[in-house]
Amino acid sequence: MVGVSPKIAPSMLSSDFANLAGEAKRMIDLGANWLHMDIMDGHFVPNLTIGAPVIESLRKHTNAYLDCHLMVTNPMDYVDQMAKAGASGFTFHVEVAKENWQELVEKIKSAGMRPGVALKPGTPVEQVYPLVEGTNPVEMVLVMTVEPGFGGQKFMPNMMDKVRALRNKYPTLDIEVDGGLGPSTIDAAAAAGANCIVAGSSVFGAPEPGDVISLLRASVKKAQPST
């Protein structure tokens, strides 16, 4: 069995938004695989962050994979604009897509983006199984390890049961974790089976962000079978 590869995705929500292009370049130069972009609509979550215009502006300055997490009530309304802006991945929340996820996934793929599905801490993991097993499946599951909407929260270790359940069922699936990830929590996430690691304040707030990125990757590599 081929193992899944580690993908470290600094959360740009923790970066200096006034210098987004420079921050993106710095993260990629320090070894990040993806750049995680949090799109919040002020409705699905109370916070309001960035939208397609910022993604479009950033895309002019980087070729990096833009891993876009849409914390929005109506993800279907965002597909075309995010694709035009240059988003690479489009991760929507299962809580707002129970009725139309097949159509949504089809639209995301047709627009040239990689579909993912996210679930809040209170959402049972079983709700995403049909989306992974469908004829036109999502290609990543994002397990929120904090309540979405705010940065800097504490990691919820009990969410690792969801990660373990997903990894046991889907050995080659990209499983992402987001919220409170850093040097003190990465081993638990990696051991449970997460391979895509979103880290905000633990990277951007570190004296040497590159060291933290390397540590996160090393933990995932150690936990995942490579052959």
d(CA 124, CA 119): 8
**Looking at the DSSP assignment, which residues form a beta bridge with residue 174?**
140
Domain coverage including residue 136:
7-223
d(CA 78, CA 74): 7
Contacts of residue 99, defined as CB under 8 A and 6 or more positions apart, other chains included, come to none
pTM, full prediction: 0.96
For residue 135, being part of any structural domain is answered with: yes
pLDDT at residue 224 in the model: 83
For residue 98, being part of any structural domain is answered with: yes
For residue 101, being part of any structural domain is answered with: yes
pLDDT at residue 187 in the model: 97
pLDDT at residue 227 in the model: 37
CATH, residue 100:
3.20.20.70
* Residues assigned a catalytic role: 38, 178
Which DSSP helix (H) or strand (E) runs through 74? Answer: none
Q: In tens digits, what is the pLDDT along the chain, a chain of 227 residues? A: 357 999 999 999 999 999 999 999 999 999 999 999 999 999 999 999 999 999 999 999 999 999 999 999 999 999 999 999 999 999 999 999 999 999 999 999 999 999 999 999 999 999 999 999 999 999 999 999 999 987 678 999 999 999 999 999 999 999 999 999 999 999 999 999 999 999 999 999 999 999 999 999 999 999 986 53
CA distances from 50 to 17, 53, 150 (A): 10, 8, 13
Domain count along the chain: 1
For residue 2, being part of any structural domain is answered with: no
Name residue 157's amino acid: P
For residue 1, being part of any structural domain is answered with: no
For residue 38, being part of any structural domain is answered with: yes
CA distances from 12 to 35, 77, 224 (A): 7, 23, 26
